[in-house]
Amino acid sequence: AFTLIKLDENNTKFIYQGQTKGISTKGKVLLKIKGEKTGEKLVQDFMKLVGEEAVKQRNDE
């Protein structure tokens, strides 16, 4: 889940809360093998995408 809080006209605070869980035993094992660094990279990639979309929307205004 995520929350967006508008700080001012040009800034928004983005709060992400969640966890990755494997549905099956195999999924749980795969998640442990991948480790936390993969999860961190996933979040960073997502935040980069959010930033790019925000810039696009700002330029469209």
Could you read off the pLDDT tens digit of each residue along the chain, which spans 61 residues?
778 888 998 888 888 777 656 578 877 776 677 666 677 787 788 888 888 888 887 788 7
Instruction: State if pTM tops 0.85.
Output: no
Domain range enclosing 40: 2-60
- Looking at the structure of the chain, the number of domains it has is 1
**What angle is formed at CA 40 by the lines to CA 34 and CA 46, rounded to 5 degrees?**
115
The reported pLDDT for the residue numbered 10 is 84
Non-local (6+) Cβ contacts of 34 within 8 A are: none
Which of these, 19, 1, 2, 9, lies nearest to 54 by C-alpha position? 9
